[in-house]
């Protein structure tokens, strides 16, 4: 079995898509107004309205969810911080982690934690 994607469920798909387009520097594929996807060679990040999860009583809850993006290097993490800090909540400014990554934690418009990191070496 192989991981295909992670999907963030949000009532405001357009707002979340705008955040991730700004973060990733590219447009999402929008096959439907209630669904968007960012594809990469290693997997996809999807964004969907609650109506895309046809489960009775389903509610989006983001506690414990962390979306991670690996950058080219530590300087690129700092560049993302500069680009996003005026338009996103910075939960943790870029910092060197004891396990060898430089990491930046943002919150998307729905409060999902987003880790942008790069190995230090």
- What total number of domains does the chain contain? 1
pLDDT digits (tens, 9 = 90+) for 17-76: 999 999 999 999 999 999 999 999 988 999 999 888 777 666 666 666 789 899 999 999
On whether residue 16 sits in a domain, the answer given is yes
Arithmetic mean of pLDDT over the chain? 90
Contact between residue 96 and residue 75 where contact means Cβ atoms under 8 Å apart: no
pLDDT of residue 84: 97
Look up the domain containing 38 and give its range: 5-50+65-119
Percent of the chain residues topping a pLDDT of 70: 90
Question: Domain with 71 in it: what CATH number?
Answer: 3.10.180.10
What's the predicted TM-score (pTM) here? 0.82
CA–CA separation, 94 vs 90, rounded Å?
9
CA–CA separation, 95 vs 38, rounded Å?
26
Contact between residue 83 and residue 22 where contact means Cβ atoms under 8 Å apart: yes
Q: Indicate the DSSP class of residue 42.
A: T
On whether residue 93 sits in a domain, the answer given is yes
Contacts of 11 (CB under 8 A, 6+ apart): 49, 50, 60
């Amino acid at each position: 079995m192989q991981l295909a994607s992670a999907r963030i469920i949000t009532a405001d798909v357009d707002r979340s898509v705008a955040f991730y387009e700004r973060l990733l520097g590219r447009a999402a594929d929008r096959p439907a107004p209630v669904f968007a996807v960012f594809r990469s060679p290693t997997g996809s990040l999807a964004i969907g309205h609650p109506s895309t999860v046809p489960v009775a009583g389903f509610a989006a809850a983001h506690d414990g969810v962390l979306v991670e993006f690996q950058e080219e290097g530590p300087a690129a993490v700092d560049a993302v911080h500069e680009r996003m800090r005026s338009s996103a909540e910075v939960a943790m400014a870029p910092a060197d982690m004891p396990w060898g990554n430089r990491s930046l934690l943002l919150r998307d418009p729905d409060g999902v934690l987003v880790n942008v990191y790069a190995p230090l070496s």
